[in-house]
Copies of this chain bind each other. A is one copy, B any other.
Amino acid sequence: MEDFRFQNKTDIRFGKHHIDEELHDAVAQFGDKVLLTYGGGSIKKSGLYDRVIKALADLKVVELSGIAPNPKIDSVREGQKLTKEHDIDVILSVGGGSVLDASKVIASAKFYDGDAWDLVADRGAKSRANIDQLPVVDILTLSATGSEMNSGSVISNPDLNIKLGTNGPNTPAVSFLDPQLTYSVSKWQTAAGSFDVFSHLTEQYFDRATANDVTSGLIEGMMRSVIKWAPVALAEPDNYDARANLMWGATMALNGIARSGTKNGWTVHPIEHELSAYYDITHGVGLGILTPRWMKRALSTETQARFARYGREVWHLTGDDDQDVAQRAIQATYDWIKSLGIPMTLAGVDINSDDKFEEMAEEAVRIGNLDHNGGYVNLTVDDVVALYQASMTTTDFE
């Protein structure tokens, strides 16, 4: 097990009965000038917007709406301007991970005088760590990114075809997680969000640190929960238990605990980020297409024991032959993703040409340090092109 530090101060309010009773004080403890951030109109349709406005009636609320999926740097720039103009004290983010990701960078941008893209472009290694950050309170409406309990954001710059992760100094101050708010999430987004969570778990599970059984066991338990409940949420969108397990699982998958004692870099995420950056596809869907292909590529005599453990503990597979159990585990993963309604080829998300694969692979390898980052297996540009190519057909799995 590797040395690590862990601290996460986010105050989680999970369940049905927190928002109306506690939202006002959770926000007002930080001041009375609030930047309310959200996406499209769905929170107005659902009535959540009205509940929020009512709860904050005695505070000064400035709004920033229209934050899109794969949130764009322009929204951050707009938020930066508003926080300065109105001397905002606290940001209230109402929406999914995209709204929250943008809000977290805006929280830093209030204290930065240059272009907000600077805060993303250096991946937070310098700028955001050394500058102040507004407290962020959030009400989550989508279970996926885990942004509600970590310091990360992923921001896209369409002008540059770049989608980058950046970390701030703080996690959200208070996160309201009410599974009922995810009842209205579409099947597509439910499937994509569920697989996003699963991918966060695989990225951390397939790891070079050995004998890390606490973390491995935690991850296996979370994986089984996603596998069990994602299909239920798709079949019964208002099944509370399904939405609750997916929501808490999403948070727990990426709040730092599943990384304790590991020494891994992530692999599939940077490869997918290029798909989203170039084609603006749904992040979780891209991960779903790529992950089984990555697993096939990563499986070897060296790694088969780990994949076999994954098969036994997560998929309840039996058998003594590690290679065989590992292969069946990868097939089971593919079959489960497909059963969620995720198209298992790039054509399914309207990527029909391999024109950009070389360029995208080069970017993925460069940004993710995939050839030397200590990821579970190192990947060259050619390897990444091959993964994109393999994702053009289903012949490898069907």
- Chain A interface (Cβ < 8 Å from any Cβ of B): 1-18, 179, 210-225, 228-229, 240-241, 244-245, 248-249, 252, 257, 260-261, 318
Contacts and interface: CB of A to CB of B under 8 A. Distances in A.
Contact of A248 (B229, B249, B260): B260
A9 B12 contact: no
A210 B261 CA distance: 31
Nearest to A248: B214
Contacts of A261: 14, 244, 248
6 A-B pairs with the lowest CB-CB distances in the bound complex, closest first: A217-B221, A3-B15, A211-B241, A213-B225, A7-B11, A6-B12
Given A217-B222, A248-B261, A5 B16 contact: no
A1 B218 contact: no
Contacts of A4: 12, 14-15
Contacts of A217: 218, 220-225
B8 A13 contact: no
Nearest to A318: B318
Copy number of this protein in the oligomer? 2
A398 to B, nearest CB: 30
Nearest to A228: B213
A8 B240 CA distance: 26
Given A214-B221, A218-B252, A248-B260, A13 B9 contact: no
A4 B16 CA distance: 9
Contacts of A8: 8
A57 to B, nearest CB: 24
Given A213-B229, A222-B214, A10 B7 contact: yes
A314 to B, nearest CB: 10
Contacts of A220: 217, 220-221
Nearest to A220: B221
A105 B383 CA distance: 57
A341 B170 CA distance: 45
A212 B15 CA distance: 13
B1 A5 contact: no
B228 A222 contact: no
A171 to B, nearest CB: 11
A144 to B, nearest CB: 15
Contacts of A17: 3
A347 to B, nearest CB: 34
A165 B249 CA distance: 30
A357 B183 CA distance: 52
Contacts of A248: 1, 214-215, 260-261
A249 B318 CA distance: 27
Contact of A11 (B5, B221, B252): B5
Contacts of A210: 241
A181 B18 CA distance: 42
A240 B213 CA distance: 13
21 contacts: A1-B245, A1-B248, A3-B15, A4-B14, A5-B13, A5-B14, A5-B18, A6-B11, A7-B9, A14-B260, A211-B245, A213-B221, A213-B225, A213-B245, A216-B225, A217-B218, A217-B220, A217-B224, A218-B222, A218-B252, A257-B257
A228 B211 CA distance: 11
Contacts of A14: 3-6, 260-261
Nearest to A217: B221
Contacts of A240: 1
A216 B221 contact: yes
A244 B261 CA distance: 9
The CB with the most chain B CB atoms within 10 A, among A17, A211, A215, A252, is that of A211
A1 B211 contact: no
A187 B151 CA distance: 41
Given A214-B245, A220-B220, 16 more contacts: A1-B179, A2-B15, A4-B14, A5-B14, A6-B11, A211-B244, A211-B245, A213-B221, A213-B225, A214-B221, A214-B252, A218-B218, A218-B221, A252-B257, A257-B257, A318-B318
